[in-house]
Chain A
Amino acid sequence: MLQIKEISKSFDGGKSYALRDVSFGMEKGDVGAIVGESGSGKTTLIRLIAGLERPDAGEIYFQGSLVSSIHKLVPPEKRKIGLVFQEYALFPHLRLIDNVTYGISRMKNKKARAREVLELVDLHGVEDRYPHQLSGGQQQRVALARALAPNPELLILDEPFSNLDAVLRAQLRNQVFEIIKKTGVTAIFVTHDTQDALTVADEILILKDGSLIQQDRAFKLYTQPKSMYVASLFGNTIMLDKALQSAFECPLNPQCCHAIRNENLTINTDCEYVTHAKVLKSTFLGNSTQLDLQLENGHRVSVITHERHIEDHIKIGFNSKDVMEFSS
């Protein structure tokens, strides 16, 4: 339903690119996540999809028709795309009911529809309040209700949980995506939190410096990352360089890079590749412990373990199925 072809955008006349040759597609009913550090171009990408920015090259097709290109631009108000802004952007001078009916002023039963979506986001009896009278989490849900009211074909959420504290965040994340699944709307959300993406997205896109570096299902992205960058984005990763390879006596293809996830490095268990190590320092992290180790060949490495009782000398190891291989 959404096709993006080699889209590029520069804000300084071609000196640098916010986005460069990004292409991807989304199927109807999917939930997609765009993941990247700040400055990676993720907000630019969704603003391009929304029609709020204009591409310097490339095309965007939405529901089979061309909406953005170098020749043509369908304005945002004609796209039937809902957008929930990072700062919610509720109209401060309007009551909640008027905020929600804002986009459906031509609908026949707009009041009823507004109440319906407010029910959907689990807000009752707040219609006559003003946005500043609500908590952050409530404002977020009103913003969602307002975006859903006109029945958009696509819903975009820009950093939807970044303004909330950790506890509320997890709770609201599940609630919001339950609602999205319930309505069956196609959705894209932007996040710099990989946990958000892994938990709720069907499809994940990784952006780095304006380029799309990988698009995959969550499980595949975690187990088969295409680059060291993607691998380390989703958890602690240990690079298997030459020194480590010799310590574990596991020769790997010298043409490629290799890495292993921290949790796959096990302590005092039998594995294909093992080595002995001396614990130089152990730092208590709460639910885990960071160990600075010196391996038999003198090489040093840090690992994180959930083991509570660690002796001074340990055996560590991993299995070949857990080794991730990248072409570069």
Chain B
Amino acid sequence: MMKQDGHKDLFSWKNRLKRFKRDNNRWSMYALAIAFLIALPIFAIGFKLFSGPGETWSHIVQHLLWDYTSNSLFLFLVCGLMVVVIGVTCAWLISRYEFPFRPQLEWLLILPLAIPSYIVAYAYAGIFDYGGSLELILRYFELSMTKVDIMNRFGLAFVLSISLFPYVYVSARAFFLNQANNLLEASRMLGAGEGQTFFKLMLPLARPAIIAGLILVLMEVLNDYGAAKYYGVNTFTTGIFRAWFSIGEPETAVYLSALLIVIVFSLILLERWERKNVRVSDNKSNSGGINRIRPARRWKRWMIFIPVFVPVLLGFILPVSQLIYWATLTADKVLGPAFFQLSLQSFGIALIASLFAVILATFLIYFSKWSPLPFIQNVTKIGVLGYAIPGAVIAVGVLIPALGFDKWLIKIGESLLGIDIGLIFTGSLVVLIYAYCVRFLAVAYNPIESTSQKVGQSIPDSSKMLGVGNAKTFFRVEFPLIKTGIFSAFILVFIDVLKELPLTLILKPFRVNTLAVKAYEYASDEMVMESAIPSLLIIVTAVLPVILLNRLLLNR
């Protein structure tokens, strides 16, 4: 009986505190510090909400909020439906059937991810414009058709869907390839036809994978600024820009940002809830992959080829062709020492930002591993949230503490030195790099975390048993084993930074420019043709790693 009582005592606050004192080490503190640094912009937005909205807030609520909401809802519904239909159809046909050019199309379908959606938007504007490529081609064949105006929310939904569907394609295909074969065979043995197998069996089973991809698409839809701005569609993100930079009311931008954060968190919760409801067990015994069906008739094989090829055509080949055409027209004007310098600057910024992001992610992962406190593991997951938050919101969240810190420095400067030192952090590279780290930490975190999980616990444990401490174990054993993960993390962040637009627009230093911003500036200044060359440079840089990403997902 005495012992029973003793155990109740074991998790009393007093004993918890004793163990906390024993288990709290410097790694816990470092991990917490990094998590705080990453979460700071969100805290800042939450904190700033208390100082009330700006004067135009009530105006926005009355006249614009409905516009933002209805447009965003429209984009959610239309893009959501389109990416699921395109992504799942392609994934299923690619996994299930054998048809002409299937191995090539398998990875070509991922390439639309290499083109930022605002660049796809510019390209399609060029195709459908007065005197645009479509008209030129039709005129060549002496045909004519009624003008299609795509500079509206329908066009925007099309552009976003055709450039974002690979998220759904990739995760659905990974599911079909890794999990499905024995189920498929069982379904066949039970006499189910192809249609029944797909709709009754595969589609419900793939639902968590499809939704995971869909959530990424919806987050990218919220994140988009360039495409919506160019097509003149008012969304939350364009609203944030307008509130801060046209109307000059940061408080209102903060309120809009907070609303966006709420939407994003509901999406995340929805996905978690969905995953809890359906637990599709990992089918580890299945290793062979799907045995593909090869339709006996030739025309049938080409019939399967068409729906898989069309998304590649619309999402990659057409926009890239348009850009190449423009590039040939504008090469003389755009290419030159200034462009070379701009490219160097852009690559340099991406290089520094991805280095920092990778280092921070590695620190966060390993510091929390080295902390014996269980809750640290959960706290560090905050670090991964940045990717869900739209770039414009992160920019707003970063500017608030940066401005506050600068004002404090100015005060100190005045009282101590009697001079006005001006804004030091705001509008500096430091803040820009910091914001990139906040936004893209998750991009670095995932590949590093997954390779480190593959290494397992017993390898570092055995190093410790041989008398080697945490940090040395990392350098001697773990780092050599997770190198590939760190390298792919670096490449992925590098590309994302290179493509990033809204956050860069808000935070970039005055004299500094990036390829993405340059493309955006050309397009906004009615020189959309000139945007082709910086756009193509981004695409070329992004294409190789997209293939790398594909390999990673396949290996997983």
Which chain A residues have a beta carbon within 8 Å of chain B's beta carbons?
8, 10, 13-14, 20-21, 50, 52, 54, 56-57, 70-73, 75-78, 80-83, 85-87, 89, 91-93, 102-103, 146-147, 150
A91 pairs with B459, CB closer than 8 A: yes
Counting chain B residues whose Cβ lies within 8 A of the other chain, the interface size class is 20 to 34
CA A147 to CA B469, docked complex, whole Å: 16
CA A73 to CA B7, docked complex, whole Å: 21
B11 pairs with A50, CB closer than 8 A: no
B465 pairs with A81, CB closer than 8 A: yes
Interface membership of chain B positions 447-470, coded 1 if the CB is closer than 8 angstroms to chain A and 0 otherwise:
000000000101101111111110
A78-B467, A93-B477, A147-B466 are known; give 17 further A-B pairs, CB within 8 A: A10-B10, A13-B11, A52-B464, A54-B372, A56-B11, A71-B22, A76-B461, A77-B469, A87-B458, A89-B456, A91-B459, A91-B463, A92-B481, A93-B481, A102-B476, A103-B468, A150-B467
A85 pairs with B462, CB closer than 8 A: yes
CA A153 to CA B476, docked complex, whole Å: 25
Interfacial chain B residues near A54, Cβ < 8 Å: 19, 22-23, 372
A14-B468 contact, Cβ under 8 Å, with A70-B19, A85-B458, A93-B480: no
A57-B22 contact, Cβ under 8 Å, with A93-B480, A103-B466: no
Among A89, A93, A147, point to the contact of B461 (Cβ < 8 A).
A89
Interfacial chain B residues near A89, Cβ < 8 Å: 456, 458-459, 461-462
Interface membership of chain B positions 1-16, coded 1 if the CB is closer than 8 angstroms to chain A and 0 otherwise:
0010011001100010
CA A14 to CA B12, docked complex, whole Å: 10
A14-B10 contact, Cβ under 8 Å, with A70-B18, A81-B465: yes
A76 pairs with B465, CB closer than 8 A: yes
CA A8 to CA B464, docked complex, whole Å: 23
Interfacial chain B residues near A87, Cβ < 8 Å: 456, 458
Cβ of B17 to closest chain A Cβ, rounded Å: 10
Interface membership of chain B positions 315-332, coded 1 if the CB is closer than 8 angstroms to chain A and 0 otherwise:
000000000000000000
CA A276 to CA B467, docked complex, whole Å: 65
Among B7, B22, B372, B468, point to the contact of A102 (Cβ < 8 A).
B468
Residue of A nearest to B466 (CB): A103
Interfacial chain B residues near A147, Cβ < 8 Å: 465-466
Contacting A at CB under 8 A, from B178-211, are none
A82-B465 contact, Cβ under 8 Å, with A14-B7, A56-B10, A92-B481: yes
CA A182 to CA B19, docked complex, whole Å: 40
Interfacial chain A residues near B468, Cβ < 8 Å: 77, 102-103
B19 pairs with A150, CB closer than 8 A: no
CA A70 to CA B6, docked complex, whole Å: 14
B23 pairs with A57, CB closer than 8 A: no
Interfacial chain A residues near B469, Cβ < 8 Å: 75, 77
CA A89 to CA B473, docked complex, whole Å: 14
The 6 closest A-B pairs by CB, nearest first: A103-B466, A14-B11, A89-B458, A89-B462, A83-B465, A76-B464
Interfacial chain B residues near A20, Cβ < 8 Å: 7
Between-chain CB contacts (< 8 Å), 15 pairs: A50-B465, A52-B465, A54-B22, A56-B15, A70-B19, A70-B22, A71-B21, A76-B465, A77-B466, A77-B468, A83-B462, A89-B459, A89-B461, A91-B477, A93-B481
Interfacial chain A residues near B466, Cβ < 8 Å: 77, 82, 102-103, 146-147, 150
CA A327 to CA B486, docked complex, whole Å: 60
CA A110 to CA B462, docked complex, whole Å: 19
Interfacial chain A residues near B6, Cβ < 8 Å: 57
CA A13 to CA B466, docked complex, whole Å: 30
Residue with the highest number of chain B CB atoms closer than 10 Å, among A14, A77, A93: A77
Residue of A nearest to B23 (CB): A54
Among B7, B15, B372, point to the contact of A70 (Cβ < 8 A).
B15
A52 pairs with B477, CB closer than 8 A: no
Cβ of B355 to closest chain A Cβ, rounded Å: 23
Interfacial chain A residues near B23, Cβ < 8 Å: 54, 73
A8 pairs with B7, CB closer than 8 A: yes
B464 pairs with A77, CB closer than 8 A: yes
CA A72 to CA B21, docked complex, whole Å: 9
